[in-house]
Structure 1
Amino acid sequence: MKFPLSICPFYFASVIGAFLLVPFVTMADENNFAPSINFTYSSDFLRNQSGGLKTGSAYIDYATLSLSNQFEFENGVNLRVLGSVLYANGEKFSETIVGDVQGASGSETGVHIKRIFEAYVDITKGNHSVLIGFFDTNTEFDVIESAGLFVNSAYGMGNTLGSSGRNGPSTYPFLGLSLRYQYVAEQYTFRTVISDGVPGDLNNANKLTLDLSSNDGYLNIAEFEYRQAQTKWLVGLWHYDQSGANGTSPSDNVGFYMHGERTFESVSGLTGFARLDTASSKTNVFNQFYSAGLVKTGFFESRSEDQIGIAFAFAELSSKRRVDDPHHNLDKASGELNIELSYSAKVNDWLTLQPSLQWIKNPSATNIDSASIIGLRLTIEL
């Protein structure tokens, strides 16, 4: 295993410091071992009714099985251990049917996957927390909770960060070895993570790689979150070292994101969000990204857990980069626009059904005809 020289001291000092916090001799409770098992299955049936590359349908699914446990020690140190496995069928929809780049389904991987997913240790004492292992950064970084309703992947991690690097950041479906520090106070949180600049194996999707060579480089994200009664503000800065910047040039690859989320008192259950992202135009296909939306929980009085939402996401094409289009030699547009209307119905404690409508203008920032998509998401959580 080769580590980039620039991050070796950071890794080893942080790991040693974290483990010195743990008093492995005395636990607060002898019956501390109480593992938790969680299973999630999610499927998207999507059909492109018109426009895009062609009309057609796809069934995209994934499943995760995780095992976690938390240990409490007498001096207030908590140790959480988590491991999970991932299955994804690898069906293609955006790539072969719609032609968009933001991703009509956040579950689409494009490759069949059966392997270990997350595997990490998280040590917490007071306001401080240190995590090391294979970690999905989008579970903590660049998260807009209300935007999680939507099916399109643009409403998860922002497009500029999500499409950066040679294989994206350490998030679904490819994770890299990561080290995360977090400080949580009453109204604000600071967190930072350093992770493999090229997570996963580009030639073997089912391989869990520990190859942190200097050729891969690293990605660092720093984020500050501020919370008020009904509002949450978040700003983040990310940076690849010179070898992690898409493998194109020695120049650094950096980006910035900012978003806000507010619960409105005047309308019960209504939450709004908006975001702005920017990134280096020399090394990223999209250098600007905007999204906003509204989500209403309890749209019907008799169904207090159901949600309905509408949102848009626009990824602006960098003036110095062009999207590779294997299907057509078409003129370029200024960017790709997605609009989604979605309704999530909680059937019972473990089953959710979610019909959705999407309209995608200028897929891949080309003059391909706008795509009209209908979909149904099924989610089982046990």
Structure 2
Amino acid sequence: MTNLKNLLLVFCSLTSHLVVAQNSSSDLLEYEIVYSALPWANLSGGLDQGFVYMDNADVTAKLNINELFDWEESLSIFFYGLGNHGGQATDYMGDFQVASNIQAAPSWRLFEVWIQENFLNDRLSALFGLYDLNSEFDVLRPGTIFINSSFGIGAEYAQSGLNGPSIFPISSLGLRLSSSITDQWRVRLAILDGVSGNPADLKSNRIALSKEDGALIAMEHSVYLSSAVPDRINRNYTTRRKKVGRDRDIPTNDKINVGGWMYTAEFPEIGDSTFYRPNWGAYIGAQKYWFYSKYDDRYLSMFVRYGVANDRINRIGSAISGGIVFAGSLSEKTDYVGLAFSTAVNGKARLEHSPEDERAETALELTYSFPLRTWLTIQPDVQYIINPNTDASIKNSLAIGLLIQASLGGAW
């Protein structure tokens, strides 16, 4: 952790002399380094009162092969190194949904490495390699401002598989196809190794394809209902979905997502390990923007999401979340205030075999993100967890944190 703190000081020094370059189709190499620090305190309730320090380093680089050979169609290679350190907020809060989206087993790993080819003026895209499913699937942009993990991907989706799906902090090998049928319709399909890493070693990014592990098949259809003016939304905060190598412009349109997933391997039923069932789930989500002025980036946005999973084999049978975000301009930069909730509901089989459990856990989050510099963002955060882990013996948890993000990047 000391090395990462030193790295933050280096960032502060370097970024005072660097101007972050914007993504450009004429760049051969694009890079970005982001350091996130999250001091966190559980003030009351949960398993115990206490303080933890979590931090996360993301190092990404994208090589645009097409620029090297002056090709018209886009061909790129992407590398993503990930480092996680510090404690676990869950050890104090006892929650199921995980209050911190940078909480992970301490390790350094190659999180993603893939090659992507775009065709037909970027209407069709094919990607192969170690791939973060949640970088493109089940994403509602207003929700990305929040720190609780369930606002990044639904709780019923995140729980799936032997070691989770191919998402932070452990990815798996796969193929992703994406097609923009029109400017308003986008369809994605991903086929991934059914087991991410090694369930017995959370620090491992092992690739071991086998018939027993099977595959995870994910599909999503996005419908964009209206167009926002891209130049009017200048997001200052950094998330895993907006790092170098992703879509150059994350759509800020009103949209609806409809998706589903399935594992080809079967899983044991809760309470009966001799009976196996297919593992599947589905979700729907939507985001909406209202702009206050034609001349600046002040707006109000809302999102809502509902998902289900086969509750005969998955603990969480359904999850619902939603929130509201206000973006305003105190200066030339944009700050954000957000309030959101996420409720993860135990399935029928779980309640049958654990009747002492509460029916659901609900996370409430209030957050405020503001940039001190173009390269430095501060985000105070408050979370209140009702029925942590649906365990009646654990009192409701009240916790606070302060996310600090420093970044530098550029292009050659």
TM-score class normalised by the smaller sequence: 0.7 to 0.9
Match of 2:337 in 1: 308
Query: Equivalents in 2 of 1:83, 1:189: separation in Å?
Result: 25
Query: Equivalents in 1 of 2:30, 2:71: separation in Å?
Result: 23
Tell which deviates more after alignment, 79-88 or 205-214. 205-214
Which residues of 2 match residues 73-92 of structure 1 at below 5 A? 76-92=72-88
Superposed displacement of residue 77, structure 1: 2.2
**Does 1:104 find its partner at 2:104?**
no
1:275-299: CA deviation from partner (whole Å, max 9, x where unpaired)? 110110111110110011000111x
Query: TM-score, normalization: structure 1?
Result: 0.85
**Does 1:291 find its partner at 2:284?**
no
Query: TM-score, normalization: structure 2?
Result: 0.79
Which residues of 2 match residues 1-382 of structure 1 at below 5 A? 34-72=28-66, 76-94=72-90, 96-109=91-104, 111-126=105-120, 127-184=123-180, 185-229=182-226, 230-243=253-266, 249-265=275-291, 268-298=298-328, 301-302=330-331, 304-321=333-350, 331-367=356-392, 368-382=394-408
Q: Which runs of 5+ in 2 are unaligned?
A: 1-24, 227-252
CA contact (8 A) 1:165 1:246 kept: no
Query: Equivalents in 2 of 1:74, 1:80: separation in Å?
Result: 13
Query: Equivalents in 2 of 1:58, 1:206: separation in Å?
Result: 20
CA RMSD of aligned residues (A): 2.2
CA contact (8 A) 1:33 1:71 kept: no
Tell which deviates more after alignment, 287-296 or 76-85. 76-85
Query: Equivalents in 1 of 2:342, 2:216: separation in Å?
Result: 24
Query: Equivalents in 2 of 1:125, 1:323: separation in Å?
Result: 51
Superposed displacement of residue 306, structure 1: 0.6
**One-letter amino acid matched to 2:399:** I
Q: Which runs of 5+ in 1 are unaligned?
A: 1-30
CA contact (8 A) 1:323 1:365 kept: no
CA contact (8 A) 2:324 2:340 kept: yes
Query: Equivalents in 2 of 1:295, 1:144: separation in Å?
Result: 12
Structure with greater contact order relative to length (CA < 8 Å, sep ≥ 6): 2
Superposed displacement of residue 242, structure 1: 2.7
Query: Equivalents in 2 of 1:85, 1:265: separation in Å?
Result: 37
CA contact (8 A) 1:166 1:245 kept: no
Match of 2:240 in 1: none
CA contact (8 A) 2:212 2:265 kept: no
Change (3 A) 1:180 1:282: same
User: What secondary structure is seen at the aligned counterpart in 2 of 1:104?
Assistant: coil
User: What secondary structure is seen at the aligned counterpart in 2 of 1:148?
Assistant: helix
Change (3 A) 1:122 1:78: same
Report the count of equivalent residues: 345
User: What secondary structure is seen at the aligned counterpart in 2 of 1:146?
Assistant: helix
Match of 1:28 in 2: none
